[in-house]
Every structure is written in C-alpha cells, then in structure tokens.
Structure 1
Amino acid sequence: MAAVSVAAEWQLLYNRYYRKPEIYTMQWKQFDLNRNKVACAPFGGPIAVIRDDSKIVQLYAESALRKLRIFNSAGVQLSETVWRHSGGRLVGMAWTDDQILVCVVQDGTVYRYNVHAELQEPNISMGKECFEQNVVECVFWGNGMVCITEANQIFCIPDFQNPNPCKLADPLLEEFPLCMTVIEPQYTMSGNVEVLLGVNDHVLLVEEEGVQQLGVGVGPLQKMVVSRNGKLLASFTHDGRVLVISTDFSKIIFEYNCESALPPEQLAWCGMDSVLLYWDDVLLMVGPYGDPVRYLYDEPIILIPESDGVRILSNTSMEFLQRVPDSTVSIFKIGSTLPAALLYDALEHFDKRSAKADENLRLIRSSLPEAVEACIDAAGHEFDTSRQRTLLRAASYGQAFCSQFQRDRLQEMCKTLRVLNAVRSYEIGIPLSIQQYKLLTASVLIGRLINCHQHFLAFRISEYTGLNQEVVIMHWACAKITASLAIHDAALLEILLDKLKLCKGISYAAVAAHADKSGRRKLAAMLVEHEPRSSKQVPLLLSIGEEDTALVKATESGDTDLIYLVLFHIWQKRPPLEFFGMVQARPLGRDLFISYARCYKHEFLKDFFLSTGQLQDVAFLLWKESWELVKNPMASKGSPLHGPRIKIIEKAQNLFSETKEHAFEAKAAEEHAKLLRMQHELEVTTKQAIFVDSSVNDTIRTCIVLGNHRAAMKVRTEFKVSEKRWYWLKVFALVTTRDWDALEKFSKEKRPPTGYKPFVEACVDAGEKDEAIKYIPKLADPREKAEAYARLGMAKEAADAASQSKDNELLGKLKLTFAQNAAASSIFDTLRDRLTFQGGS
C-alpha cells in the first residue's frame, strides 16, 4: 500500500515519472506574489521581496514606505530594510553565487545587499551612457549581469566581485527586442558572455566584439531560456510553439504546438529533460516525446530552476518539481518486481513477522547488493524523513544478508541526510536536494550558514563532516564583537575565549584585528595577548599602537625579521630620543639596530651613541667615515676634501682622549691626522699626488727618491723614526734612484747603526753585483757574508766565509744552493769533512 500511495503522487511524461512534493508551507502571512517583485536564489537560497512599483496596488494596512524584505525558502523573515534609493523604478533584482542581492534601477545604478539587508558599499554605476538612456530589462547569471537600455544598447558586468561595467557591440536595432537571454561565459568559446536577442524572425547573438545573425526563419520568438549546460535553447514562438534548439541553431531538438499563442509569463528548464511554461493558472510541462503534463494553480507562482528540477514558490507553499530518480522508480513503481522493490517489500513483511520476507530475499539473493544500493540512493532523494528512515532500514536489512556490499555507503548516506534534514528545517529553510548538496559542497553550505549567522549549526556540521571549524568560530567571534557594543571588554573577552579555545591553532590575531577595526582597541590588545604566533601577533600590536609590547614580543621570539619590522615602525613614529631609550633597553634590538645603522644610517647611529654616552663608538664611526671619504671620486689625491677628512679624524681623536682605555686610539688618530696634513702639504709642494694615505716609511722613502732630503728628515723627526729604520729606508731609496755615489758616501758618513747588511741587500735586490761586492767584505757576521756571496753565485768566496763560521748546517745549505755546480758542491763537501774531522779529534 505504501508503494501505491507514493507512486500515486507521480505524473508520467512519456516514459518518465515526475513528482512535485510540497517542501514547505510558507510561514509568511498575507503575502501576494502578484504585488511584489521577487528574487529567489538557487540551491535553496533566500527570497528577496519588495513591493512592485510598476503596479498600482492597494496598500491595505501596510506603510507607504517600501521595504526590502528577505526570507528563507520557508518564508521565515531573515531581515528587512527601508528602500530609500532614488534613480527611478527597480528594473531587475537577483541573487549572485555569493548570495549578494543585486538591485538595478532605471538610471543604471546597482545596489547590493547581503542576507541581513545591509547595503554593501560602494554602489556600482553602469556608466553615463546607461544613465542617460534608462535601463529597461536585465538578465542575470552566476556573478554577472547584462542590461538593455531604451536606446537598445547592451551593457554588461561580467563579475560582481570585480565590478567593471562594459558595453557590448551595438545590435543596431530600430525596435526593442521581443525577448533576451544569455549564454554564460563558462559555456562560450570566447569565455565572454553571449547575449541572445529575439528580433523579427531570427535571433541576434551579441558579444563585445560584434553581432551575428542566427536561426533565420525560426521566429519571431516571444520567450527564450538557455539550459543549465549552455547547449540548448528553449523558446516560445509567436504562433504558440515550444521549440528546443541547440544554442548554435544547427538543429531543432523538438517542438510542441501549444493550444494558445499567448506567450507564457515564465519559461524554465526542469533539469535537462523537460521545459516548463507558466500562464495565469496553468503550469505546462513539455518533453521531447508524449503528451505534456498540466498542473493547475489558483494562485500566482514563481519558477526557481535548480540543477535537478524546479522549485515552485506560491503564496502558500514551496514545492519541488523533479524527475523521479531511477532508484525510487525501481522501488515504488506500481507492480515493480525489481530487486529493490522486493527488498523494500521484504522489510514490510519482516516488520509483520511474515515468512514472505525470507521468500523475497531468496528471490533476489544474487541481486541483493544492487537492491541495497537502490534503497540507499532512493533514501538520499527523499525529503520526507519517515520515508528516508524506512528506505534506510530496508537497505540495512538487505545489507545483513549481503557480505560483498560496502558497509560505509550506508553510514555516508545517514551522515549526508542528517546534514540535509538539519538545513531543511523551517528555521534554517535551505531545501537542498542531495544532488544540489553534492554540487554546492559542504564547505560552501557551511559558508552560507555562517553568513546567515547560523553559527551553531555550521559548527555542528563542520564537526560532523570533519571540516575545519576555525572558519565558523572566527566568523562567529567577529560577528559577536560587531553585535556586542554594550558588553564590557573584559566580559566580552571571556565569552570569546570560551569559544575560541575550541579550535586549536585558531588565529586570535585575526579576531583582534576585527576588534580594532570595530573601534575596540582595548579588546584587540587583550585578544592579541593570546596569539601564540609572534609573526601574527607583532604586526597587529603595531597596528593597534602597542609598540612597546610589540618590541617585547618580537625580542622574545628571537625572530630578527620581526624585530626589524618593529624597529623600523617605531623609528618612523617616535622622536629619536624616545626611540633610542626603547632600543637601549633591549640588547638584541639594540644590536640589530646598530648593525643596520652602521651600514646605512651613520649620522643617526652617531646621535644614538652620543645619547647613550658611548663616545668611543662615535669616534670609531668618525674614523670609518674618514676612510669612506677616500672612496668619494671627488676626493682624489691632492683634493681639498682632505681638509674635512683631517677634521673628522681630529674629532675622533678628541673623543678617544675622553677615556683612558682608548689612549692608544687617541694617539693613533693624532698621528694619522698629522701624517695626512704633512702628506697633503708635500703633494701641494711637489705637485705630485703620491703621498696621501701612504705609510710613514713610504713617505720618507718617496721624499728621498724625489731628492727632497729636507722633507724626509722633517717626517723622520716628526714621527721619531729610529736611526736603524732611517738607514734602511735611505739605503733602499738611494738604490731605487741608482745613486751609487750618494750610497757610498752615506755608508762612509759614520759607522752605520744597522751594519752594512741594508747596503748589501739593497744592491743584491737591485741586481747590482759590483756594488754589492763593495759592501760584503764589511759584513761582520761570516754567515751573512757567506749567504751574500752565495746569492751572487760566488762559490769560492762563499766557501771561505763559511769556513770561518764553522757552521755545518750552513755548509749543507750552501751546497744545495750550488747543487748544479759539481766543482763548487765538492768544495763544500770537503769543508764539511774537515769540520767533522776537527770536531771528532
């Protein structure tokens, strides 16, 4: 009997069954669709209602103020607001994929509202041309819209998330088109929207780039609507025919002759199998084969196309017209003997404790898995919970006798149906079918529940389906802050923390940012204290003006990037002395600041060191600056820039001399300045830029080479150059100028304090053998004498000198020097033998 009652509700269109169960009795009171403009969102979304200002209607007891009201699909009011917009008549109204209500008025202004009837800024203008011409009609899809003006120009917003109005090609029409529809961008070759206009006996396809003429002779068409997959066009002709044509107009799929040539008020696709036409009191369902199905209505209705059927909204009810799923047909079709029907029947017998249950199971033993699957699938397509339960019990009963069936399939369906039944309740009012739910996905459904402030249900569904609950809790927390202006910060913090702790790893910083944006800076500071991630905590502390805390947290984290972020932020906002005080108190922050400033901000770093009394550090910076001046291309040698450089070094010297610990640096700086000044004078007098930045030794040597002995003596005296060093420098300088007479004269002035070694080495290095021979005999040390002769290749003389030294090791070394000369080598062998013999005796 149950199967008979179920199938009795169906209508047959050729060989396919359709059903139209009532989902809701509408909860609104005294509502008339005829008197209002209505926009219904797909996927069981909200319904927007506003009094139709194009109709003269009796106001009854209503206020003269027009109100925009938003209901859920069960007619429970969610929100309302007074319509205060000028700009002419409301032309079009529709919901986007993001459930934003888009309202277009005559002058081309687009107003947007969320489900709470809150106006979303900014308003969008379709442009000056649209404003001047007046909008007449709009067509919406997904997140886009096209509109046509009184001048037959078409304007488009391809995406409301990034509203950028554009004008399509001019269709060059003399009269307003009979009808208009669009092929969505996702189904076009160009990826842009294509607008279809019914004009005379053909259709114009209008794009941004141009206009094409299609289907000549097919019209005139009074109504057009494109199928969900963008491949088929359903239309109503002037002579009362329903035509279904491919959208490229290459072939007619089917046509049906209606009894009336009066165009329907609404034309819609029901899934992909049939087309619905609605006149005043008749809803006609037409398919490719067989007679149409008629439904009679004594009240106005609105057709809301869905992916798997059409929702039908009337003043009193919400129905869902859909093709009966194959699994449901297999079970409930009158006279069905398919395995699923027998399994369903077996459960009924089992409940009555009848043996017929076993008989049915034996009949379908081999087909039991498919029967179980059909019962599960049919349960998923039901809106009636008692029927869901019975079908699932039948599946569970069959599964007990079926070892091959996947057990989790039944659990998954139970889980899905619990979610669907929860959102279908009157309070929530989202009548999703299972197919729509799969298309929409659980995460999008949760997002929609959140936007409707159904946070508890969204949280439970997230928890139940294993999805991330952070999104729900975050949105709840932000909404709570916005709505709780009267609650004290400390009390609100407790409420927030109680829920935020439910989700591990949640971003307290993001909630704190929202609190700050809402003007609750104290609450933001309290919330951010609970953020464990410094990378999120520190930037927010800066944005809410908590620089001191931000610096503490950044320093504690040890993250140098974060510390630098805080330092640069404070550096820009605070006076230098205040900034210096903050930095000085934090060793890591101070060191990082010094490292950065040392490279890029010398002057600022000097101010910092002065403010903290670190005079020697300022001195080191000045000294470094003096060397940086050398790199200046303007500071070439002999340049007047050496004057400032010397002053900088003198400043450094003064600062070094302030502390006893830096006496050496003070003396070095003093001598450096003195040397630079002398070198600068030398360059001026000699007109040769070869002195600056050379050492004292090199300065003396250069003076002697240039023949300026007086200057050399002055440098020697000024820098207290020892006599030994003076001899070395003068000898090498005279050899450099090859002034042998002066060298010999210098050697005879008095006994050199260095001995004659510098004279020998300088001559040998210069390759002057004859000059070197003059001084070698004067060497006091036989070893030095032997090595000098050896360097000149004089083996016999080297041997004579070495024999005087009686140094066995020296003889071995000299033998190696003359290894190529056999005769010389044997001399050293003989000497070593003699030395060994003498040592032995």
Structure 2
Amino acid sequence: MANVSVAAEWQLLYNRYYRKPELYQMQWKHIDLSRNKVACATFGGPIAVIRDDSKIVQLYAESALRKLRIFNSAGVQVAETVWKHPGGRLVGMAWMDDQTLVCVVQDGTIYRYNVHAELQEPNVSMGSECFEQNVVDCIFWGNGVVCITEANQVFAVPDFKNPKPCKLADPCLDEYPLCAAVIEPQYTMSGNVEVLLGVGDHVLLVEEDGVQQLGVGVGPLQKMVVSRTGKLLASFTHDGRLLVISTDFSKIIFEYNCEAALPPEQLAWCGMDSVLLYWDDMLLMVGPYGDPVRYLYDEPIILIPECDGVRILSNTSMEFLQRVPDSTVSIFKIGSTLPAALLYDALDHFDRRSAKADENLRLIRSSLPEAVEACIDAAGHEFDVLRQRTLLRAASYGEAFSSHFQRDRFQEMCKTLRVLNAVRNPEIGIPLSIQQYKLLTASVLIGRLINAHQHLLALRISEYLGMNQEVVIMHWACSKITSSLAIPDATLLEILLDKLKFCKGISYAAVAAHADKNGRRKLAAMLVEHEPRSSKQVPLLLSIGEEDTALTKATESGDTDLVYLVLFHIWQKRPPLEFFGTIQARPLARDLFITYARCYKHEFLKDFFLSTGQLQDVAFLLWKESWELGKNPMASKGSPLHGPRIKLIEKAHSLFSETKEHTFESKAAEEHAKLLRMQHELEVTTKQAIFVDSSISDTIRTCIVLGNHRAALKVRTEFKVSEKRWYWLKVFALATIRDWDALEKFSKEKRPPIGYRPFVEACIDADEKGEALKYIPKLADPRERAESYARIGMAKEAADAASQAKDGELLGRLKLTFAQNAAASSIFDTLRDRLSFQGVS
C-alpha cells in the first residue's frame, strides 16, 4: 500500500513521471506575491521581497515606507532594510551566484545587498548614456546583467566580480523588442555575453562586436528563455505555440500548440526534459512527446529553475517539481516487480514478521547489489525523512544478505542526508536536493551558512564531514567582534579565545586585524599576543601602532626580513634620536640597521655613530666616503673634488686620534691625507692625472720618470722612505726612461746600500747588455756574477765566475742555459770534471 500512496502523487508526462512534493508551508505573513517584486536565489537560496512601485496597491496596515525584506526559502525573515534610493523605479532585482542581491533602478544605478540586507559599496552605474535613456528592462544571469533602455540600446555588466559596464552593438530598432533572453558568456563561442531580442518575425543576436539576424520566419516571439546548458531556447510564439529551438536557430527540436492567445506570464525550463508555462491560474508542463500536464493554482506563483527541476513559490507554500528519479520509479511504480521494489517489499514483510520476506529475497538474490544501490539512491532523492529512513533500512536489510556491496556507499549517503536534512530545517531554510548539493559542493554550502551567520551548524557540518573548521571559526570570531560593541575588550577576548583555541593553526592575527578595523585597537593588541607566527603577528602590531612590541617579536623570531620591516616602519615614523635609542638596546636590530645604512644611508649612519659616541666608526665611514669620491670619473686632472676628499680623511684622522686604541689608523689617515695633497699638487703642476691614489713608491717612481727629481726627493723626505727602497725605485725608474748616464752617475755617488745587482737586473730587463757589463764585475758574489754573465750569453766569463764559486750544482744549471751551444757546454763539463776531481783528491 505504501508503494501505491507514493506513486499516486506522480504525474505522467509521456513515459516519464514527475512529482511535486511540498518543501515548506511558508512562515511569512501577509505576503502577496502579486503586489511585490520578488527575487529568489537558486540552490534553495534566500528570497528578496519589496513592494512593487509600478502597481497601485492597498497598503492594509503596513507602513508607507518601502522595505526590502529578505526571507529564507521557508519564509522565515532573516533581514530587512528601508529602501531609500532615488534614481527612479526599481526595474529588476536578482541574486547572483555569490548570493549578492543586485537591484537595478531606472537611471541605470545598480545597488548591491548581502543576505543581511546591508548595502555593499560601491554602487555601480551603467554610465551617462544609460542614465539619460532610462532602463526599461533587465535580464540577469549567474554573475551579470543586461539592461535595455527606452532608446532600445543594450548595456551589460558581464561580471560583478569586476563590475565594468559595457555597451553592446546598436540593434537599430524603431520599436521596443517583444522579448529578450541572454546566452551566458560561458556558453558562447566568443566568451562574451550574447543577447537575443525578439523583433518582428525573427531574432536579433546582439554582441559587443555586432548584430546578427537569426531564425527568420519563426516569430513573432512573445517570450524566450535559454536552457541551463545554453544550447536550447524555449519560446512562445504570437499564435500560441511553444517552440524549442537550438540557440543557433539551426533546427526546431519540437513544437506544441498551447491554444492560448495570451503569452504566459512565466516561461521556465524544468531540468532539460520539459518546459513550464504559467498563466494566472494554470501551470502547464510540456515535454517533447505526449500530452502536457496541467497544475491549477488559485494564487500567484513564481518559478525558480534549478539544475534538476523547478521550485514553485506561492503565498503559502514552496514546492519542488522534478522528474522522479529512475531508482524511485523502480521501487514505487505501481505493479513494479524490479529487484529494488521486491527488496523494499521484503522489508515490509520482515517488519510484519511474514515469511514472504524470505521468499522475496530468494527471488532477487542474484540482483541484490543493484536493488540495494537503488534503495540508497532513492533515499538520497527523498525530502521526507521517514521515507529516507525506510529506504535506507531496506538497503541495510538487503546488504546483510549480499557480500558484493560497497559499504562506503551506504555510509556516504547517510552522511549526505544528515547534512541535507540539517540545512532543510525551516529555521535554516535551504531545501537542497542531492543533485543540487553535489553541484554546489559542501564547501560552498558551508560558506553560505556562515554568510547567513549560521556558524554553529556550519561548524558541525565541517566537523562531521572532516573539513577545515578554520574558515567557520574565523568568520564567527570576526562577526562576534562586529556585533559585540557593548562587550568590554577583556570579556570579549575570553569569549573569542574559548572558541579559537579549538582550531589549530587559526590566524589570531587575522581576527586581530578585524578588531582593529572595527576600532577596537586594545582588543587587537590582546589578540595578536596569541598569534604564534611572527610573520603574521609583526605586520599587524605595526598596523595597530605597537612598534616596540613588534620590534621585540621580530628580533625574537630571528627573521631578518621581519626585523627590517619593523626598522623601516619605525625609521619613517620617529625622529632620528628616538629611533637610535630604540635600536641601540637591541643588538640584532642595531646590527641589521648598520649593515643596511653602511650600503645606502651613510649620513644617517654617521649620525647614529655620533649619538652613541662611536667616533672611530664615523672615521671609518668618512674614509670610505673619500674612496667613493675617488671613484668619481671627475676626480682627476687637478679636480676640485680632491679638496673634499682630503678634508674627509683629515676629519677621519682627527676622530681616530681621539681614541688611544686607533693610533695606527690615525697615523695612516694622516699620511694618506698628506700623500693625497702632494699627489694633487703634482697633478696640478704636471697637468697629468697619474698621481692620485697611487702608492708612495709609485709616486716617487713617476716623479723620476717625469724627470722631476726634486719632487721625488720631497716625497722621499716627507714620508721617510728608507735609503734601500729609494735606491731600488730610482734604479728601475731611470732604466724605464733609459737614462743610462744618470744610472751610472747614480751608482757612483757612493757604494749603493742595495749592492749592484738591481743595476744589473734593470739593464738586463731593458735588454742593454753593454750597460749591464758596467755593473756585473762589481757584483761581490761570484755566483751572482756567473748567473748574470749567463743571462747576457757570455759563457766563458760565466764559467770563470762559477769556477771561482766552486759550485758543481751551479755549473750544471749554467750548462743547461747554454744547451744549444756545444762549445760552451763542453767548457762547463770540463770545469765540473776538474771540480769533482779536486773534490776526490
């Protein structure tokens, strides 16, 4: 009998069954849909209601103030606000995919509200042209709107996430179109919105780039609506026919003569299987085959298309018209002997303790898995909790006798139904079907619940489904802060921490940022103390003005990037001395500041060192600056830049001299300044930029090369250059300019303190063997003489000198030098033999 009563509620459309269960008795009072503009969100979303100002209505006992009221799908009011927008009549309103209510007024201004009837900034304007022409009609889709003006121009906001209005191509119409529909951007080849306008006997397809004429001869069309997939168009013709056409107008799918002169008030798709037409007392459901189904209504209704059917809203109830799922048909169809029906029947016999239960099970033993699956599937499509339970019991009963069934499927369905039953509760009022739930996804559903401030349910569902609860708790905490202005900070902190502690990894910093945004800085400071991640904690402390705490936390973390973030922040906000005092007490911060300032902010760093009495550090900076100045390409040819350089080094010298520990640096700076000054003078007198930044030795050498012996002597005297070094420098300088007479004269001034070897080296390096011969005989060491003779190719003399030295190893080496010369080689061999013979005797 149960099967009969279930199937008795169905209607047959050709070979498919449809049912129309009541989801809710509406809990609102005195709402007449015919007197109001109404917007209903898909996926069981909220309903927005506002008095229709285009109609003259009797106010009864209600206020003359127009109110925008928001209800859930069960008619429970969740919010209201006074409508106080100028700009003319409200042309249309609809809910976007993210449950933002979009309201379009006559002058092209678009107002947006959230589910709590709070106005969202900024408002969107369709532009001055739209403002001048007035909006007459608008068509909405998932996340956009198309407006048609009195001048028959078409404007669109393709995506409210980035609300930029655009004007579509001019359709060049003299009369207002008979009807309009929109193909969403996701279903068009171009990826842009396409608008269909019913004009005369054809349809115009309007895009941004142009206008096309389609379907000549199909019209005039009075009403159009595009299917969910964007591929089919249902339309009502002027002669009372329902036409279903492909949206490219290439073929007519089917047509049905409604025998009605008046076009329907509403036209909607019911899934993809049938089309609904509504006149003021009748709802007609037409399929591609067979006779249509009629439903009579004595009150106005609104059709709300869903992915798997249509919700029907009236003044008193919310119904759901859907095709009966195949699994449900297999169980409840009158006279069904399919395995699922027999399994369901077996449970009934089992409950009545009838032996027929066992008989049924024997009949379907081989088909038990599919019977169990059908019962589970049918349970998922039910809105009636008792029927869900019975179907699941039947599945469980069959499962006990089947070893080939996946138990996960049963558990998953139980979980899903618990979630669906929870949100279908009239107080929540989200009557999702299982198909809608799967399409929407659990995470989006949780997002919608928290936006509706149903935090507890959202938390329980997240926990039950094993999902991240952080999103829910975060939203709850932020909402609590916003709505608890009267609660003292300390009390509110306790309330928040009590819940936040249950969620590991929660961002206390984000909650604190929200508290700060709401003007509760003290609460923000208290909250941020609980944030374990310095990277989140420190920026927030800065934003709420807790710089010192931020610096402490950053240095404790050891993260140099964070320390720099705080340093730069404080640096900009505080006077230098106060800033120096702040960082001086924190070694890491101080060292990082010094490292940065050493590269980029010398002057500031000098101020810092002076403030802390580190004079030697200032001196080093000044010295470095002098070198930087020296790198300037202008610092040459007697450049005036040398003056400041010398002053910098002298200043460094005076600072070094104030501390006993830096005597060497003080002396070095003094001599550096003196040398620079002399080099600068030399460049000025010689007009050659070759002295500055060279060493003392190079300066002396350059002076001699240039013939300026007096200057060379002055540098020698000034810097107390030793006699040995002086001799080395002068010898090689004279050899460089090949002044052999001066070299000889220099060698005879007195016995050179460095000996004659440098003279020999200088001459040989200059390839002047004759000059070298002047000095080789004067070499005291016979080994040196031998090697020197060998270097200028004089074998006999080399051999004589080597024999004086009585050094066999030296003779061997010299022989190698003259390896190409057989006669010379034999001389060395003879000498070696003689030497070894003498050694033996």
TMscore range, shorter length? over 0.9
Report whether the alignment pairs 1:218 with 2:218: yes
How far the C-alpha of 1:674 sits from its partner, in A, is 1.2
Aligned to 1:55: 55
Which piece of structure 1 moves more, 364-373 or 677-686?
Answer: 677-686
Aligned to 1:494: 494
TM-score where L is the length of structure 2: 0.97
Deviations 1:247-291 (A, max 9, x none): 122222222222321221111111111111111211111111111
Report whether the alignment pairs 1:601 with 2:598: no
Name the SS of the counterpart of 1:426 in structure 2: coil
Aligned to 1:570: 570
Work out whether residues 637 and 687 of structure 2, in 8 Å CA contact, stay in contact via their aligned partners in 1: no
TM-score where L is the length of structure 1: 0.97
Work out whether residues 637 and 692 of structure 1, in 8 Å CA contact, stay in contact via their aligned partners in 2: no
Aligned to 1:294: 294
How far the C-alpha of 1:167 sits from its partner, in A, is 1.2
The aligned runs of 1:36-51 (5 Å cut-off) are 36-51=36-51
Which piece of structure 1 moves more, 480-489 or 43-52?
Answer: 480-489
Work out whether residues 50 and 68 of structure 1, in 8 Å CA contact, stay in contact via their aligned partners in 2: yes
Which piece of structure 1 moves more, 618-627 or 446-455?
Answer: 618-627
Deviations 1:304-362 (A, max 9, x none): 11111111111111111111111101100000011110110011111111111111111
Aligned to 1:168: 168
Aligned to 2:320: 320
How far the C-alpha of 1:736 sits from its partner, in A, is 2.1
The aligned runs of 1:808-819 (5 Å cut-off) are 808-819=808-819
Aligned to 2:75: 75
Name the SS of the counterpart of 1:145 in structure 2: strand
How far the C-alpha of 1:583 sits from its partner, in A, is 2.3
Which piece of structure 1 moves more, 768-777 or 339-348?
Answer: 768-777
Aligned to 1:138: 138
1:270 and 1:714 mapped to 2: Cα distance? 108
Aligned to 2:401: 401
How far the C-alpha of 1:834 sits from its partner, in A, is 4.7
Aligned to 2:305: 305
Aligned to 2:617: 617
Aligned to 2:121: 121
Which piece of structure 1 moves more, 617-626 or 382-391?
Answer: 617-626
Aligned to 1:184: 184
Name the SS of the counterpart of 1:244 in structure 2: strand
Aligned to 1:557: 557
How far the C-alpha of 1:831 sits from its partner, in A, is 4.2
Name the SS of the counterpart of 1:688 in structure 2: coil
AA in 2 matched with 1:386? L
1:778 and 1:55 mapped to 2: Cα distance? 130
RMSD: 1.6
Which piece of structure 1 moves more, 688-697 or 819-828?
Answer: 819-828
AA in 1 matched with 2:534? S
Aligned to 2:630: 630
The aligned runs of 1:413-812 (5 Å cut-off) are 413-812=413-812
How far the C-alpha of 1:120 sits from its partner, in A, is 0.5
How far the C-alpha of 1:824 sits from its partner, in A, is 3.9
Give ranges in structure 2 of 5+ residues lacking alignment.
none
1:809 and 1:581 mapped to 2: Cα distance? 73
Which piece of structure 1 moves more, 648-657 or 705-714?
Answer: 705-714
1:835 and 1:570 mapped to 2: Cα distance? 86
AA in 2 matched with 1:71? F
How far the C-alpha of 1:170 sits from its partner, in A, is 1.6
1:766 and 1:200 mapped to 2: Cα distance? 108
1:417 and 1:656 mapped to 2: Cα distance? 84
How far the C-alpha of 1:720 sits from its partner, in A, is 1.3
Aligned to 1:335: 335
The verdict on how the C-alpha distance between 1:231 and 1:749 changes in structure 2, with shifts beyond 3 A counting, is closer
Aligned to 1:391: 391
1:587 and 1:836 mapped to 2: Cα distance? 74
AA in 2 matched with 1:239? D
Q: How many residues align?
A: 841
How far the C-alpha of 1:221 sits from its partner, in A, is 1.6
How far the C-alpha of 1:836 sits from its partner, in A, is 4.8
2:374 and 2:251 mapped to 1: Cα distance? 37
Which piece of structure 1 moves more, 515-524 or 117-126?
Answer: 515-524
2:15 and 2:536 mapped to 1: Cα distance? 62
Aligned to 1:88: 88
AA in 1 matched with 2:656? F
Work out whether residues 369 and 405 of structure 1, in 8 Å CA contact, stay in contact via their aligned partners in 2: yes
2:166 and 2:771 mapped to 1: Cα distance? 98
Which piece of structure 1 moves more, 393-402 or 598-607?
Answer: 598-607
How far the C-alpha of 1:192 sits from its partner, in A, is 1.3
1:825 and 1:219 mapped to 2: Cα distance? 121
Work out whether residues 25 and 316 of structure 1, in 8 Å CA contact, stay in contact via their aligned partners in 2: yes
Work out whether residues 68 and 81 of structure 2, in 8 Å CA contact, stay in contact via their aligned partners in 1: yes
AA in 2 matched with 1:176? Y
How far the C-alpha of 1:838 sits from its partner, in A, is 4.8
2:216 and 2:734 mapped to 1: Cα distance? 111
Deviations 1:367-406 (A, max 9, x none): 1111111111100000000000000111111111111111
Aligned to 1:202: 202
How far the C-alpha of 1:485 sits from its partner, in A, is 0.9
Aligned to 1:25: 25
AA in 2 matched with 1:272? M
Name the SS of the counterpart of 1:596 in structure 2: helix
Deviations 1:444-496 (A, max 9, x none): 10110010001111111111112211111111111111111111212211211
How far the C-alpha of 1:4 sits from its partner, in A, is 0.4
Work out whether residues 227 and 269 of structure 1, in 8 Å CA contact, stay in contact via their aligned partners in 2: yes
How far the C-alpha of 1:790 sits from its partner, in A, is 2.3
AA in 1 matched with 2:11? Q
AA in 2 matched with 1:301? I
2:810 and 2:20 mapped to 1: Cα distance? 120
How far the C-alpha of 1:535 sits from its partner, in A, is 1.8
Name the SS of the counterpart of 1:416 in structure 2: helix
Aligned to 1:364: 364
2:175 and 2:737 mapped to 1: Cα distance? 108
Aligned to 1:233: 233
1:809 and 1:587 mapped to 2: Cα distance? 64
AA in 2 matched with 1:765? D
1:199 and 1:761 mapped to 2: Cα distance? 109
2:31 and 2:751 mapped to 1: Cα distance? 129
1:145 and 1:705 mapped to 2: Cα distance? 89
1:244 and 1:354 mapped to 2: Cα distance? 52
2:200 and 2:705 mapped to 1: Cα distance? 108
Name the SS of the counterpart of 2:566 in structure 1: helix
How far the C-alpha of 1:653 sits from its partner, in A, is 1.0
How far the C-alpha of 1:710 sits from its partner, in A, is 1.8
Deviations 1:672-730 (A, max 9, x none): 11112112222222222222222222222222222222222211111112222222222
1:28 and 1:402 mapped to 2: Cα distance? 49
Identical positions, percent: 90
Give ranges in structure 1 of 5+ residues lacking alignment.
none
Name the SS of the counterpart of 1:409 in structure 2: helix
Name the SS of the counterpart of 2:720 in structure 1: coil
Deviations 1:282-304 (A, max 9, x none): 11111111111111111111111
AA in 2 matched with 1:107? D
2:238 and 2:709 mapped to 1: Cα distance? 121
Work out whether residues 24 and 74 of structure 2, in 8 Å CA contact, stay in contact via their aligned partners in 1: yes
Work out whether residues 731 and 758 of structure 1, in 8 Å CA contact, stay in contact via their aligned partners in 2: yes
Name the SS of the counterpart of 1:262 in structure 2: coil
1:368 and 1:734 mapped to 2: Cα distance? 115
Which piece of structure 1 moves more, 142-151 or 781-790?
Answer: 781-790
1:686 and 1:247 mapped to 2: Cα distance? 93
Work out whether residues 637 and 684 of structure 2, in 8 Å CA contact, stay in contact via their aligned partners in 1: no
Which piece of structure 1 moves more, 704-713 or 116-125?
Answer: 704-713
2:59 and 2:744 mapped to 1: Cα distance? 131
Work out whether residues 110 and 124 of structure 1, in 8 Å CA contact, stay in contact via their aligned partners in 2: yes
2:755 and 2:30 mapped to 1: Cα distance? 127
How far the C-alpha of 1:243 sits from its partner, in A, is 1.6
